[in-house]
Amino acid sequence: MFADVLGHERLRAALATALAQDRLPPALLLSGPEGVGKRRLALAVAAALVCETPTPDGACGQCNPCRRLARGITIQPEQRAAADEATKADPLRYNFTLHPDVLLVEPSRSGKSVSLKVDQVRAVVDQVAARPFESRARAFIVDDAHLMNEQAQNAFLKSLEEPPRTSHLMLVTPWPQALLPTIRSRCQELRFGSLPLQIVERQLQSELQIGPDEARLRAVLSGGSLGEALTLDTEAYAALREDLLQLLAAAERATVMDRMDLADQVNALADAPAALTVLRGLLRDLGAIAAGGGASQLINADVGDRLAALAAGPLGARATALAQAVGDTRDVLLGRIPGTSLMQGAAHKLLALDVLMDALTIA
Ligand SMILES: [Zn+2]
């Protein structure tokens, strides 16, 4: 049922209507941030296509095909783990038959490389041309579709040219720009936004059995990506935050020599985008305190006392503007598009360091 997918009401309603009127486009491109439910919605569409007794809100969830598909979805991670561990890499093991008429394709892994191989795509093309086994339609979901190289994308185009009415293709990706224009122009694109923070918080509390404070912290830090919020390593976060709090506190009374030493310490922090995420949160909180905000507005409410002491110093007045600059830098660092990455490795770190030193250089 579409109601089981969090958020994205407009997209859900459009898909439910298209299915009810039997006017689902032959090819959909589901694009948008990581971890907001694109693949989940694609699976809900697939379920509606194979369900024996669909409702106005998609699959019934009760009939035999619905239950078999649900089982396929449940065991798929185990099948992927088995494929990962196989001694001989076999790309076709990453084409998962979730139900006789529902195929899910994921990038295959061999050694360090993760990509959608042309063999995987050719297998899809063959199946797209075939009739459904038992349902009124078949669904083909290609996850992380941007990981098809050009050869694979060209092979895929065949399926998009004239798919039989009974075959529905769904490409899922956070990077639609990486797909050939000929592919994009043949798909109806559904653009997903971030999930509202309240929805992410509620889901985190029920799924992880955590309190409202931690749920809020995870939701804010992940910027509305439930997937990221669920897997966030809060211990690593706390350790990184402690480093940065000490740096900010030391910066207040630092000499020029001290600052160079601080720069070295920051440089030693392993993950520049993560450090910037944490720093942005701290600076936002300092700005909120400086503006008279209460504890309920803080991301890092658990270290509110230390933040209040910092906000009373010279950093308080500049914190909000700095938070913006730090956030912008982080977005640039994370805004990498396959094949067009502008900054990597050492350059990432240098830029991050610049922003951080700006934060620390208190006039
Ligand atoms: Zn059903």
Average pLDDT per block of 10 residues along the chain, 363 residues long:
87 93 94 92 97 94 97 96 90 96 93 87 95 96 94 92 92 93 95 90 92 84 83 83 84 64 62 76 91 83 89 86 77 50 53 63 54
pLDDT of residue 130: 93
Residue 139: per-residue pLDDT: 97
- For residue 46, report the distance from its CA to the centre of ligand 1, in Å: 11
What residues does the ion ligand 1 have nearby, CB within 5 Å? 51, 59-60, 63, 66
Residue 354's pLDDT is 66
pLDDT score for 232 = 81
**Contact predicate 330/276, CB 8 Å:** yes
The predicted pLDDT at position 161 comes to 85
Task: Compute the CA torsion angle 85, 86, 92, 95 (nearest 10 deg).
Answer: -30
Residue 172 Cα to ligand 1 middle (Å): 23
Structure tokens that stand for 148 in this block: 């098809």
Task: Report how far residue 166's alpha carbon sits from residue 295's, in angstroms, rounded to the nearest whole number.
Answer: 56
Query: CB neighbours of 338 closer than 8 A, spacing ≥ 6?
Result: 146, 147, 175, 178
What is the model's pLDDT at position 84?
Answer: 92
How far does residue 60's CA lie from ligand 1's centre (Å)? 4
- CA gap 94, 87 in Å, rounded: 15
- State both tokens at 179: 């797909």
CA of 129 relative to ligand 1 center, distance in Å:
25
Å from CA of 1 to ligand 1 middle: 9
Sign of CA dihedral 202, 207, 212, 214: negative
293 exposed, middle or buried (CB, 10 Å; 0-12, 13-18, 19+)? middle
CA 144 to chain CA mean position, Å? 11
